[in-house]
Amino acid sequence: MSRSSSRALLALTFILIAGGLLVLNLGGYLQAVEGMALRPLGALQGWLSQRVSAVQTLLTSPADLATLRADNLRLEAEVARLERELIGVREQAAEAEVLAGLLGYARTRPESRYVAARVIGQDISPFIRSVWIDRGSDGGLQQGMPVVTERGLVGRVAEVYATIARIQLITDPQSTVNVRLQTSRADGALQAQLNGELWVDAIDQSASVTAGELVLTSGLGGAFPSDIPVGQILTVRKRDYELFQQAVLQPSADLEGLLVVLVITNFQPLAPPGAP
């Protein structure tokens, strides 16, 4: 057999083995093996990610970094706290209007429980928007759990292994989030576009949506808890001949610079990742 044909045969063999692995994985038979392989890889990812973050911080910080960093952290925490309070107060006021007529109605809302996790890597594929975190099923994480930062919604747990998990970001084109506009009370569906923009679609034509309006999760569909801040409306597109209006959204959370996220562990999602 000539050298070139033996190489072709070798390449074909590898491709066929890879095809077999693909089929086995689709059937879910490789879950345990993947989990075992990801344990050391996740540890290595975490170690490297910490070093990279440290170097990156050192290189991008100003000279008198100790004082400035402390001040910045304090102010950021203060701004985040005030923003949360403001959103809470506005939301309560809007809800009070809706609920005023419903005598005897009392709404109880359980306190969320969080697990903090460090972002240790991004998806290798440039076509998929997701990140890896250093907590997995050992830390109580389950598929579908919502993920947030102190600023707002990040996404939800798409894959869980023992020590690490993959988070599907809201900027992934496969992700859909049911949302409600805070002031106009209109419902919509948040969908990432292929160019990376976030669009709130399916907003009722009669709703008066304005730029700057806050957008929260609606809780419809059961994939996310309600009232998590998602972002602010940037621009509105309304055409008389269309059934719905659309709006471009600026996410609250800094999805490009995620370092630490919070996973809400006491929320049981009704829909699998990918469903709204």
Which positions lie near other proteins, rule CB under 8 A?
Answer: 4, 7-8, 10-11, 14-15, 17-19, 21-22, 25-26, 30, 34, 37-38, 41, 44-45, 48-49, 52, 56, 120-128, 130, 132, 158-159, 166, 168, 173-174, 194-195
Min separation Cβ 241 and other proteins, Å: 25
Nearer to other proteins, 34 or 254 (CB): 34
**Residue with smaller CB distance to other proteins, 151 or 166:** 166
Q: Enumerate the β-bridge partners of residue 192.
A: 198
In the complex, minimum distance from the CB of residue 10 to other proteins, in angstroms, rounded to a whole number: 6
Cβ within 8 Å of residue 173, ≥6 positions away = 129, 191, 192, 193, 194
Q: Write the CA distances from 142 to 153, 178, 186, 254, 272, integer angstroms.
A: 17, 21, 31, 24, 11
Closer residue to other proteins, CB minimum distance, 15 or 211: 15
Query: CA 242 to CA 238: how far, in whole Å?
Result: 8
Residue 228 C-beta: closest distance to other proteins, Å? 23
* In the complex, minimum distance from the CB of residue 51 to other proteins, in angstroms, rounded to a whole number: 9
In the complex with other proteins, the residue whose CB is nearer, 269 or 273, is 273
